[in-house]
Amino acid sequence: MTKIKVSREAADFVRNETACLRRRNKNAAQSFLDAIRRAKTVLATFEDAGNRTHGLQIKDGRTLVVDAYLFDYLLEQGPVQILAIRRGRMPMITPEIDEGDRTQADLSG
């Protein structure tokens, strides 16, 4: 299985989205966390699953769609780097990539 690393920005989105959804609808928050787990499982077992044509427009960038969420990630040698997570209706912003800024985060909620 491929190792998954998550940027601080993506981890912050998970925390903020989970908190917002929990205030409104606990079932929606759980569905979101389930989507996060499914995305990590897919990328760990099949890192080529993302779309490179319509996804993240940087070298080695891809986007995986899971439910209403988009996971922008880099597919390079070594671990898959999830750079951003966003709702499907949010605009795509090309993230700045800083080697020192890549950290692994726990997305289990």
Could you tell me the residue ranges of all domains in the chain?
A: 4-90
Q: Please, is 48 exposed, middle or buried when counting C-beta atoms within 10 Å of its C-beta (0-12, 13-18, 19+)?
A: exposed
Long-range contacts of 44-49 (CB under 8 A, 24+ apart): 44/1, 44/2, 44/3, 44/4, 44/80, 45/1, 45/2, 47/2, 47/75, 47/80, 48/75
Which structure tokens are listed for 80? 């898959």
What pLDDT was estimated at residue 98?
58
CATH superfamily for 4-90 is RelE-like (3.30.2310.20)
pTM for this entry: 0.77
Query: What are the pLDDT digits (tens) for 59-107?
Result: 788 999 999 899 999 987 789 999 999 987 655 555 565 555 444 444 5
Res. 30: pLDDT tops 60: yes
